Structure 1
C-alpha cells in the first residue's frame, strides 16, 4: 500500500492509502477528491485530472510521454510540476507522494 497526500488549492489535506499499480487518478476518484474529474476515465484523452506534484516527488516519476504533454495543453494554469494524475502509477517509491489539485475555474 502507498500513501497519497492530496492537498487542495486552499491547503486542506487528505491522506489516503492505495494499492501499488493504481493511478493517482483512480485513487482520487475512489476517495471523491474534489478537483479531479477524470472525464475520460484514465485514457489520457482529456486534462480533467490535472494535478501539481510536490517538487520532492518529480524526479521519482516516469517521464511524461508525448500524449500526456499534448493533453496538458488543454489544462489551465499549467506549471513545471503539472502532470495528469491518470499517468502516475503508485509504487513503493511514491509512498507519501504529495498531490495538489488546481483551483477550479
Structure 2
C-alpha cells in the first residue's frame, strides 16, 4: 500500500496537507468528502458521474494528470467559475503519479 500527499485549499481558504491511499480505487472528490474538507451535500452531488461540477477544483501545480474526458469537458463547459486549470475531482483517481498534487476547491 502506498499513500500520496495531496495539498488542498478548501472553500474557506484553509490549507490542508493530507495523505490519500492509492489502493482503494478512490478519486479526489471522495478523498475531499472522506476528510470532510467541504460541507456535506456540497460536493459530489452526482456521485462522481461528471454530471454536476460540484467537485470542481483548480490544479495549482504541474503534476501530470490524465487528459479530460469528453464528459468532463462538457460538464466544465456548463459550470460556473471555470478557469483554465479547472478539473472535476471525481475524474482524478488517486494514483502514485499524482503525489504532491496541489488543488483549490472551486466555489459552490
Aligned counterpart for 1:98 among listed residues 87, 102, 106: 102
The equivalent residue for 1:52 is: 58
Taking structure 2 as the reference length, the TM-score comes to 0.84
- Structure 2, gaps ≥5 residues long: none
SS at match of 2:78: coil
Distance in structure 2 (CA, Å) of the matches to 1:103 and 1:45 = 17
Taking structure 1 as the reference length, the TM-score comes to 0.86
Structure 1 runs of 4+ off > 6 angstroms?
A: none
Contact 2:61-2:101 at 8 Å conserved across structures: no
Alignment of 1:52-91 (within 5 A): 52-57=58-63, 60-91=64-95
Aligned counterpart for 2:10 among listed residues 5, 8, 12: 8
Contact 2:57-2:87 at 8 Å conserved across structures: yes
Distance in structure 1 (CA, Å) of the matches to 2:36 and 2:78 = 23
Q: CA deviation at 1:9?
A: 5.1
- Structure 1, gaps ≥5 residues long: none
Alignment of 1:22-61 (within 5 A): 22-34=26-38, 37-57=43-63, 60-61=64-65
Q: CA deviation at 1:5?
A: 1.0
SS at match of 1:56: coil
Q: 1:29 to 1:9 in 2, by over 3 A?
A: closer
Distance in structure 1 (CA, Å) of the matches to 2:107 and 2:27 = 21
